[in-house]
Amino acid sequence: MTNTPFPHEPSAADAQAAIADEFGFFGDWSERYQYLIDLGRKLPEFPDAWKTEEHRLQGCQSLVWIVAEGDAGRLDFHSISDSAIVSGLVYLALRVYSGRSAAEIIATEPDYIASIGLSKHLSPTRSNGLAALLAFIRERARAALPE
C-alpha cells in the first residue's frame, strides 16, 4: 500500500522550512493547535488490518500505529492516531520524513519542532510520544541502509 501523499516538498529541509512558514502565520497556540488538528485530518486512510499490536508505536499514551515500507532508496511511512493533536504531530513527521531516502532521513534532525515552538507547548506525554515516533522513523532508516 504505497498510496501516500508524501513527500510534498523536494527535500526534508524544504518540508521543515514550509512547516515553519505555515506555523508563523498563527498568532497564538490555540490557533496552532487547531491547525495541528486540521493537519491530522489530512492523514491518508490507514487500513484497519494494520491496527494491530505489531504496528502499535510503543511509548505513546495515545494509540498510534505506524507501518514502514520501502528500502534505502525510499521509505514510506503510514501512520494514524486515535488523538486529534497526535495525528497532527504524525502528519508533520511524515511530511518531513516519509518518501525520503534512508540517508536523508538519518541526516535530517527534526529542527521544525523547535522552530515552531512545539517543544515548549507539548505535554510531557505528547513529547515522549513524538520522540518515540521520530525514533521509530530513524531506526527504520538505519535498518534499511546496507551494512
- Closest residue by Cα to residue 90 from 68, 66, 72, 110: 66
60 is catalytic: yes
Condensed to tens digits (0 to 9), the pLDDT of residues 4-58 reads 778 889 999 999 999 999 999 998 999 999 999 999 999 999 999 999 999 999 9
Contact 25, 58 (CB under 8 A): no
Residue type, 71: D
What is the 8-class DSSP label of residue 45? Answer: P
Contact 102, 75 (CB under 8 A): yes
Residue 2 has pLDDT above 70, yes or no: no
The H-assigned helical ranges of the chain are: 12-24, 29-40, 84-97, 102-107, 112-115, 118-121, 124-144
Contact 140, 75 (CB under 8 A): yes
For the whole model, what pTM was predicted?
A: 0.95
* Catalytic-role residue among 60, 96, 102, 118: 60
Contact 95, 14 (CB under 8 A): no
3-class state of residue 90 by DSSP: helix
Q: Which helix (H) or strand (E) element contains residue 100? A: none
Condensed to tens digits (0 to 9), the pLDDT of residues 104-123 reads 999 999 999 999 999 888 88
